[in-house]
Structure 1
Amino acid sequence: MTNEDGIRTQESVRELSSVDGETAVITGASSGIGRAVAETFVADGADVVICSRTQEDVESVAEELNEADVPGSVLPVECDVTDRDSVEALAEAAVEEFGEVDLLVNNAGGSGSGGPLHEVEGDEWDGVVDVNLTGVYNVTTAFSDALREDGGAVVNTASMAGRYGVAGMGPYSAAKAGVSALTRTLADEWAGDDVRVNAVEPGFVATPPVREMLDVEMPEREGADRRIGQPDEIADTIRFLASDAASFVTGQTIAPTGPPNTFEPPEV
């Protein structure tokens, strides 16, 4: 949309940057980044399906957002992304409720207990890789038909740990590196179906576990020298990648991290 001088209008810019009217599925949405994405999308006017492994947790988020003065709506679904039957049920619930799925945000994950790689038990390795990498495969393939039918966008949550590799976080680093590689592969395979696939690699973000670990408060959203970001800042990056404003962005991994770093814990 342009005006009589051929210049884009304010309305057209806002429309491109919006997910208004879209249907989105967000995994791992009971807290932290996933919840922030849900809040951002609903405030923008999207209908959102949110899930986590515990129904009570995700229901409380949905209840709060559905009672808020926002244009979108929320459907809570209990789902374990490592269980393919559970993921298939999530896909069926989303399509039954809204008829289509335009956007998918693969956010479910967890770092595990950590420790030197030679001390990591096989079950610990399997659990971390299953939720962070295999879970992305499970959810994405379950929604492949819905996404490819009319085009759409996928945004995966990777990590700076996957870019650099972090001592004491071997399984998590490997799994998140796999998410970035899977993102590039899928972007190539699905470009012909008009589906864009991108990822974010957050640095340290003030999610509840990080705030507890580092004993910090939620940072203000100002200052370029911050080493810790807000979940809302990652949500805004995801919203951009999901919107038509990123129409020429696919197969990319965006790193919202503050100043360049090697994923070393910030001094607090």
Structure 2
Amino acid sequence: MSAEIRTTEDVRNRSSVAGKTAVVTGGSSGIGRAIAAAFVADGADVVVCSRTQADVDAVAEELNDADLPGSVLPVECDVTDRDDVDALATATVEEFGGVDVLVNNAGGAGEGGPLHEVSPAEWERVVDVNLTGTYNVTHAFADPLREDGGAVVNTASMAGRYGVAGMGPYSAAKAGVVSLTRTLASEWAADDVRVNAVNPGFIATEGVREWLGIEGIPDRETVDREVGTTEEVADVVRFLASDAASFVTGQTVAPTGPPNLYTAPQ
């Protein structure tokens, strides 16, 4: 038997983000909001940003009033705007002294349609927010992350793995996010920065529920299902951000339920 046996407290502490400072982009709704809520409930201080101040103010008010151990700082930020992104990094460092966890969650699928019908402007818009936005924010936080070590978690998509008809710009951009994740994991390992991604499948955000005609939230206790919850993605992100994932970097974890080829549930 090993001479060192970890206590329950040791295990819980390594699996927690308590005491960490985290930044969550696209945090006003859906998966981003669920990640922010999970981190605050765990005891992290979270900077939540989106393009509209009123939206992140509402998240901050709700979570800060919930008597949770962490706190929320709302910041308006468009991840495609470098001035906004630089201001986000400055505000975070001024308020908390640095950053431990960066979650690049901001994104969007765009209008969709066959690639030959996608305008250059729409292609640029979708790639800008999903891929270039991830670069912009990570680049802005590079110095504080590399100074003290930390974790980056990027939100990709199963669309980036399979390539989905009618979602060309989004699929390409999310595939780029996965590749960027692996590149940064190699480049920043010596700085004690872990970089991972999540590839969610069909998740019951408001938009997806409307699209698929789903009423209510899926039961998390049921394994054999094709739609997951935002909290299930948040739990995976929380693990990747915690010290329990100390030997996990350059990986893409897929909260998808049973394997499929990314075809919409019937």
Q: Please classify the TM superposition score into its range, dividing by the shorter chain length.
A: over 0.9
1:228-243 pair list within 5 angstroms: 228-243=227-242
- Tell me the residue number matched to 1:191: 189
SS at match of 1:186: helix
- Tell me the residue number matched to 2:221: 222
Query: Which residue among 118, 121, 124 is the counterpart of 2:119?
Result: 121
> Following the alignment from structure 1 to structure 2, what is the Cα–Cα distance between the partners of residues 52 and 262?
31
- The one-letter code of the counterpart of 2:149 is G
> Could you list the per-position Cα deviations for residues 174-205 of structure 1 after superposition, in whole angstroms to 9, with x for gaps in the alignment?
00000000000000000000000000000000
- The one-letter code of the counterpart of 2:172 is A
Matched, 1:58 2:68: no
> Following the alignment from structure 1 to structure 2, what is the Cα–Cα distance between the partners of residues 14 and 158?
28
Matched, 1:244 2:234: no
SS at match of 1:40: helix
State the Cα distance separating 1:54 from its structure 2 match: 0.5
Gaps of 5+ in 2: none
TM-score by length of 1: 0.98
> Following the alignment from structure 2 to structure 1, what is the Cα–Cα distance between the partners of residues 221 and 167?
30
TM-score by length of 2: 0.98
SS at match of 1:74: strand
- Tell me the residue number matched to 1:152: 150
State the Cα distance separating 1:5 from its structure 2 match: 5.3
> Following the alignment from structure 1 to structure 2, what is the Cα–Cα distance between the partners of residues 265 and 137?
29
> Could you list the per-position Cα deviations for residues 137-160 of structure 1 after superposition, in whole angstroms to 9, with x for gaps in the alignment?
000000000100110000000000
Percent identical pairs in the alignment equals 75
Gaps of 5+ in 1: none
> Could you list the per-position Cα deviations for residues 63-107 of structure 1 after superposition, in whole angstroms to 9, with x for gaps in the alignment?
000000100000000000000010000000111111110000000
1:1-80 pair list within 5 angstroms: 6-80=4-78
> Could you list the per-position Cα deviations for residues 19-67 of structure 1 after superposition, in whole angstroms to 9, with x for gaps in the alignment?
0000000000000000000000000000000000000011000000000
Runs of 4+ with deviation above 6 angstroms: none
State the Cα distance separating 1:228 from its structure 2 match: 0.2
State the Cα distance separating 1:6 from its structure 2 match: 2.1
- Tell me the residue number matched to 1:175: 173
The alignment yields a C-alpha RMSD, in angstroms, of 1.1
- The one-letter code of the counterpart of 2:247 is F
The count of corresponding residues between Structure 1 and Structure 2 is 265
SS at match of 2:5: coil
- The one-letter code of the counterpart of 1:69 is D
